[in-house]
Amino acid sequence: MVYVNREFNQYRLTYYNFLEATADGRGDYETTGDIELIFDNETVAYVDFYDEIPIRRNSYTGGFFPVIYINFHLSRFNEIFNILRNVRPLFVWLDTNGWRGGIYSNAVSIG
């Protein structure tokens, strides 16, 4: 089991929709998005959002500077984005035993 934990202090947001071909040739629009999590100009993780079930498995690249990939359903986009906008400091984590992962903060002062 590997537990990967990285702090981040910046993010870059991409939210888009595109036309995906269907079997009948008409096409459907698909909306998706990702948030790149950055610590001092180094990418540490991507949080990806998909409008599909089941959700894709989380992963990471390994190596000296691992990049974590956390996947959520598109319906969670606003919830995650509000955390990024309103809470500091923030960390991303991944447990490769079961591929669980997410975003968390340290204790935050109230008031």
Residue 19: the pLDDT is 76
Q: How many domains does the chain have?
A: 1
Q: Which domain holds residue 62?
A: 3-105
> Is residue 92 a part of any domain in this protein?
yes
Residue 21: the pLDDT is 73
Residue 111: the pLDDT is 65
pTM of the model: 0.84
> Is residue 111 a part of any domain in this protein?
no
Residue 23 has pLDDT above 80, yes or no: no
Distance of CA 45 to CAs 72, 77, 85, 108, Å?
Answer: 13, 16, 17, 22
**Beta pairing, strands 68-73 & 42-50:** parallel
> Is residue 85 a part of any domain in this protein?
yes
5-20 pLDDT, tens digit per residue, is 999 999 999 988 877 7
> Is residue 89 a part of any domain in this protein?
yes
> Is residue 110 a part of any domain in this protein?
no
Distance (Å, whole) CA 26 – CA 17: 16
Share of the chain above pLDDT 90, in %: 59
